[in-house]
Structure 1
Amino acid sequence: MSKQPLDLTTQPHSQQNKIKWLIGLILLMFLILWGWNFWKKSQAEKQDSFSQWSKPVPVRVVGVQRGDLQLEIKAIGTVVPASTVNVQSQVSGVLQKIYFQEGQYIQKGQLLAQIDPTPFQVALAQAQGTQQQNLAQLHNAQSELARYQLLYKQDSIARQQVDQQQALVNQLKGQIQANQAQVDAAKLQLSYTKIYAPIDGRVGFRLKDAGNLIQANEATGLLSITQVHPIYVQFAVAENYLDIVREASKNKQSIRVSAWDRAEQKQLATGSVQALDNQIDLNTGTLKVKAVFANTDDALFPNQFVNVRLNAKTLHNVVHLPSDAIQHGAKGTYVYIINKENKAEVRMLKLGMVSQGQTEIVEGLQGNERVVLEGIDRLSEGQDVQVVQDDHAHPAQAKTVAG
């Protein structure tokens, strides 16, 4: 059996075909991958065209203001009466009658109560009787002394008798002075049976009823009186404002103070600073301040809780804007302003004093910019914006209360 020769020319040809197929497969994979990326990118661009994040950000802007800014210090205060008197009886006895109504406003010197005067009238009569008795003895002794002096001139008696009679007269004169003191003391005790108002003010609830036995200087007393015209409000301010308050006090300026209700919705009264405490409280780092109010309408009531606003200082011709527009970041304090192309720009600031809703701008703004107040969360440098509300044309009047 004969062997056929092997055809070596077919092997290189098959290898070349395999390489061509492999190259084609690789090219096909690259084409498929490129097409997939192109389709994915086009889909993303299509989605971005409908995304809210790619559109201009709607914002509300306010105008930076330049003008006077009133710095007010805000504090919590307590209404304190000008005077508080606990009326007590100075003598013991039965309370006969009460001449006031609970809650009544009374005048100084007005009769409030009557204690049974009978025992004190008896004591006065007894003292006056003893005084009359000693007066009669004195008159008799003085007559005897005149006779002794006449007899002594006639050399009828010794000098010793005249001197003894003179001593008796002097002794009786001393007794008369003591008797007068007893009479005055009895009259004073009798006067204490009528209790009068020591100050103007409003009467509280009575603590004793008529018919009770009253002891002198009892701790509970009969009633209390609080003077409410004028009235004071005591509050504390941070020591940071010490220089401002002291400067106004030294210049004898009247520092205006207003008292507001608990919800800070209604102004109750206006007054002025009366006095500053002589030291700062180490525990709180605050200075106590007392303000006086006329309180003619009785809007303030003793021990009432009030919110206080103290007009400490007026800043003239300063740049200020709403505090809500100010942002705080790692680089410092800044705001977003809107330029002429309606794009957002970051503007770094240096701040001054703070008022309720308003902050003084020391550096960073000139007073004619538009500042973003709402819609800040989606903003970035150069971001297009859509102004939905512009308060620049009608800037709000700055409210002025500092915390």
Structure 2
Amino acid sequence: MSLSSSTNDDSSLQMRRNRKWMFRLIVLLCLLILLIITYRFVHTFFFKKDNSVALPPKPVAISSVKNMDVPIVYTELGTVVPVTTIIVPARIAGYLQQVFFTEGQSVKKGELLALIDPRPYELLKAQYEGTLKADQATLKQAKLDNARYQKLLKQNSIAPMTAQDQQYKVAQLEGQIEADKALVNQQRLNIIYCHIRANVDGRIGIRAVDAGNYVTEGQSGGIATLTQMTPISVLLTVPENKLDKIINAISKQKTLQVEAWNSDNTKKLAVGTTSVIDSEIDTSTGTIKLRALFSNEGWGLFPNQFVNVHILVNTLHDVLTVPNNAIQTGPEGSFVYVVENDSIAKLKLVKTGYDNGERTVISSGLKRDDKVVTDGIDQLKDGSKITIAKNSSS
């Protein structure tokens, strides 16, 4: 009996202890919940309200919506290509006797560039001229004989066959003289070929062969390369989705104004016009070639130079524009912040048009002289209070 009573007392003690711990845990949880509720109440009705009141106006820069003419310009990559490039050839074989040009020199059409030794061809010309004179004398004698034979034939004093043979001899000699004249003219032409002249105005390049060397007709590399510098062309590729606009513009204006800018697009090098559009689109790239011509008087464009080509396709007259950095994009489309009463930024949805890199055409949503925010936009929301920076553009 004593053992059972002791066991019951221990169980009762353990249960009382468990109840104490459970009560303490419940009290602790109630205190924690009360603390959280008190914190949220104080933060909501005191701190948050005070913070919203304390927020200062946001400093921003603004710009005015302006009416202006906007040129539509396509910018494409191009390569400067000479209208004419000539490998100055040796058109006859012989020793190169003299070179009259300096590398890099500007030359005129017809100017003497080099001389191949003409003496062998002068001697051949003299030989053929001697043969020609001899054959001409023989022809003269044959014609006199033929005249006598024709008289004798009328008198029945000579056989008809003999008179006819003499006529054939005259015809043969006349043919021989024509051949002699051709040989003489051939040597005259060879002597002309010995004098190598410029075919166009241009710039002569690095000499490919020195005086004293033996050159042959059709020799690889020729004497030098002659490049026509004025005018010069630029060959560029245009995406096919821009082709219809370019063709429509050319159909109205015949030619379009084109500007060539340097490779980093910071300096204008020359102004020209479109010349021709290729006859087919390259299916592998989806582009078509276009050639533009430039007068290039100062040699601002150089063969094989890479340039940025600006093609003036059209001009939009008196359209509403805003600076590009005023345009933002959201879930509902493009929008800007319009300044109201010089103190509130109001969000307005807009429809945009052509972008020339600096300003964007506005189709709808704004009117002339509206003030739009151009800097400080990232800290704004619809209805934000703002202060306008002193250096802000108007």
Counterpart in 1 of 2:71? 70
> 1:59 touches 1:389 (CA, 8 Å); kept in 2?
no
Q: How does 1:205-216 map to 2 (within 5 A)?
A: 205-216=206-217
Give the 3 Å change call, closer, same or farther, for CA 246–390 of structure 1 in structure 2: farther
Counterpart in 2 of 1:127? 128
> 1:349 touches 1:362 (CA, 8 Å); kept in 2?
yes
- Structure 2 residue matching 1:278: 3-state secondary structure: coil
TM-score norm. by structure 2 comes to 0.86
> 1:277 touches 1:287 (CA, 8 Å); kept in 2?
yes
Question: In 2, distance between residues paired with 1:31 and 1:94?
Answer: 113
> 1:370 touches 1:392 (CA, 8 Å); kept in 2?
no
Residues 1:285 and 2:286 are matched in the alignment: yes
- Structure 2 residue matching 1:283: 3-state secondary structure: coil
> Unpaired runs of 5+ in structure 1?
1-24, 394-403
Residues 1:48 and 2:51 are matched in the alignment: yes
- Structure 1 residue matching 2:366: 3-state secondary structure: coil
Counterpart in 1 of 2:108? 107
Distance apart, 1:236 and its partner CA: 2.4
Distance apart, 1:366 and its partner CA: 1.4
Distance apart, 1:199 and its partner CA: 0.9
Counterpart in 2 of 1:58? 59
Give the 3 Å change call, closer, same or farther, for CA 35–144 of structure 1 in structure 2: closer
Distance apart, 1:269 and its partner CA: 1.2
> 2:66 touches 2:369 (CA, 8 Å); kept in 1?
yes
| Structure 1 range deviating more: 335-344 or 84-93 | 335-344
Distance apart, 1:39 and its partner CA: 5.1
Distance apart, 1:283 and its partner CA: 2.9
Distance apart, 1:121 and its partner CA: 1.4
Counterpart in 2 of 1:177? 178
Letter in 2 for 1:349: V
- Structure 1 residue matching 2:228: 3-state secondary structure: strand
Q: How many residues align?
A: 367
| Structure 1 range deviating more: 73-82 or 201-210 | 73-82
Question: In 2, distance between residues paired with 1:253 and 1:187?
Answer: 47
Question: In 2, distance between residues paired with 1:389 and 1:280?
Answer: 53
Show CA shifts across 1:110-153 (max 9, x none): 11110011211122122112212222221221222222223223
Counterpart in 2 of 1:380? 381
Question: In 1, distance between residues paired with 2:299 and 2:74?
Answer: 24
Letter in 2 for 1:243: D
- Structure 1 residue matching 2:81: 3-state secondary structure: strand
> 1:254 touches 1:272 (CA, 8 Å); kept in 2?
yes
Distance apart, 1:31 and its partner CA: 8.4
Letter in 2 for 1:218: Q
Give the 3 Å change call, closer, same or farther, for CA 183–366 of structure 1 in structure 2: same
TM-score norm. by structure 1 comes to 0.84
Question: In 1, distance between residues paired with 2:289 and 2:273?
Answer: 14
Counterpart in 2 of 1:217? 218
Give the 3 Å change call, closer, same or farther, for CA 32–89 of structure 1 in structure 2: closer
Counterpart in 1 of 2:370? 369
Distance apart, 1:41 and its partner CA: 5.2
Show CA shifts across 1:372-401 (max 9, x none): 1111111111111122156453xxxxxxxx
Question: In 1, distance between residues paired with 2:342 and 2:138?
Answer: 117
Residues 1:319 and 2:320 are matched in the alignment: yes
| Structure 1 range deviating more: 255-264 or 40-49 | 40-49
Residues 1:337 and 2:323 are matched in the alignment: no
Letter in 2 for 1:342: S
Question: In 2, distance between residues paired with 1:46 and 1:249?
Answer: 65
Counterpart in 2 of 1:204? 205
> 1:69 touches 1:318 (CA, 8 Å); kept in 2?
yes
Show CA shifts across 1:250-275 (max 9, x none): 12344211111223222111111122
> 2:342 touches 2:388 (CA, 8 Å); kept in 1?
no
| Structure 1 range deviating more: 145-154 or 219-228 | 145-154
Question: In 1, distance between residues paired with 2:347 and 2:37?
Answer: 41
- Structure 2 residue matching 1:228: 3-state secondary structure: coil
Distance apart, 1:43 and its partner CA: 6.9
Q: How does 1:123-202 map to 2 (within 5 A)?
A: 123-202=124-203
| Structure 1 range deviating more: 327-336 or 98-107 | 327-336
Counterpart in 1 of 2:5? none
Distance apart, 1:195 and its partner CA: 0.7
The structure with the largest helix share of the pair is 2
Counterpart in 2 of 1:3? none
> Unpaired runs of 5+ in structure 2?
1-26
Question: In 1, distance between residues paired with 2:148 and 2:281?
Answer: 79
Question: In 2, distance between residues paired with 1:33 and 1:173?
Answer: 130
Residues 1:297 and 2:298 are matched in the alignment: yes
Question: In 2, distance between residues paired with 1:184 and 1:169?
Answer: 23
> 1:325 touches 1:371 (CA, 8 Å); kept in 2?
yes
Distance apart, 1:224 and its partner CA: 0.9
Letter in 1 for 2:195: K
| Structure 1 range deviating more: 314-323 or 131-140 | 131-140
> 2:202 touches 2:230 (CA, 8 Å); kept in 1?
yes
Give the 3 Å change call, closer, same or farther, for CA 392–153 of structure 1 in structure 2: same
Letter in 2 for 1:161: T
> 2:342 touches 2:387 (CA, 8 Å); kept in 1?
no
Give the 3 Å change call, closer, same or farther, for CA 369–265 of structure 1 in structure 2: same
Letter in 1 for 2:90: S
Show CA shifts across 1:79-113 (max 9, x none): 11111111111111100001111111111111111
Give the 3 Å change call, closer, same or farther, for CA 93–32 of structure 1 in structure 2: closer
CA RMSD of aligned residues (A): 2.5
| Structure 1 range deviating more: 367-376 or 194-203 | 367-376
Distance apart, 1:280 and its partner CA: 2.6
Show CA shifts across 1:292-317 (max 9, x none): 11111111111111122121111011
Question: In 2, distance between residues paired with 1:307 and 1:297?
Answer: 19
Distance apart, 1:37 and its partner CA: 5.1
